[in-house]
Amino acid sequence: TMAPAHALAEQAGVRSGALVLADEQTAGRGRLHRQWDAPFGRALLLSVALRAEQIANAPVLPMIAGLAVLHALERVGLPSAGFGLKWPNDIVCGERAGRQRKIGGILVESALSGGSFSHAVIGIGLNVNQQPAELPHVELPAPQPASLLMESGSPVDRTLLLLELCRAIADQLA
């Protein structure tokens, strides 16, 4: 979703806040060129393109996105105490056997045009309704992947979570 969001942000007439969604991910990327895949219909995968004029302080965008995710989780009824942020870009939950589990990630990229900051894209991926067998094996000491379903014991409505996440991002940017 990152590349299409960058392309949107570069088009005249496209408003800040343009959203790109995917139902599955086969070539996701995170920090340090780590790959992240997600099966069809089980995750929330999105990028938000923001124009420079909407961004007061680009370096804080990862923090804004992380806080927005936590607010959205709380708004859909998931216990806020169970989730947290591991800076700079991981959304984590609880401790099991002394280890945090990763339910999502944030990737923020900025772009220049003519030597000036033109836009940024916030990419967010959340493991929502995956079963343990649908998540990749990750080598320690990295946090092991988990999903909201695994943590809450109930399926989570991806559409409702998306709506609350968009509201929370808008609140954080205001």
What are the tens digits of pLDDT across the range 25-62? 866 665 556 667 788 999 999 999 998 887 878 889 99
For 92, the 3-state DSSP assignment is strand
Q: Give φ, ψ of 79 to 5 degrees.
A: -65, 120
pLDDT digits (tens, 9 = 90+) for 65-111: 999 999 999 999 997 668 888 887 899 998 655 678 999 999 999 98
CA distance 76 to 22: 21
DSSP string of 31-86, one letter each residue: GGG-EEEE-TTTEEEEEEEEEGGG-S-GGGHHHHHHHHHHHHHHHTT--GGGEEEE
